[in-house]
Amino acid sequence: MKKGKIAFWIVIFGFVGLIIYQNKLFFMSKSHLIFNLGFIYYETPNLANAIFFVAFFLLGILLTYLLTLFKQFKDAKLIKALKAKESTLMQTVTALEKELSTGKGPDNPVGEAAGDEEAVKMTAEVK
């Protein structure tokens, strides 16, 4: 599977390189961007279109990373809360298993197994 994944990415990068090579005139032509928001005006210097493509690609990667970063923090907080709940539940299970193994329960502090009297009554009724 690892070799297939590498081959897949080589093919993808090959097609992207082919598109860039076939459109070299477009990518190397110079242009500029104008930002006019009403209260602020900015005009970039003349740069090759390839630089704009790379800049906006990297900006998209950065924005995607930042948006997923918040989700990662939220998931980490949820995992921490669930692990804390799991540890308390495991402590409860351990305590209940200990009570069960000793035969002492909250209803039967003497040490007799719970339900012995009922079992004797049931077997007497069956006979």
CA distance 31 to 56: 15
- pLDDT tens per residue across all 127 residues of the chain: 888 999 999 999 999 999 989 999 998 999 988 988 889 999 989 999 999 999 999 999 999 999 899 889 999 999 999 999 999 999 999 999 998 888 765 565 554 554 555 655 555 555 5
What's this model's pTM, rounded to 2 decimal places?
0.54
What one-letter code names the amino acid at 46?
A: N
At residue 25's C-alpha, the angle toward residues 22 and 28, to 5°, is 115
**pLDDT at res. 124:** 53
Closest CA to 27 of 46, 51, 57, 50: 50
Closest CA to 10 of 18, 36, 61: 18
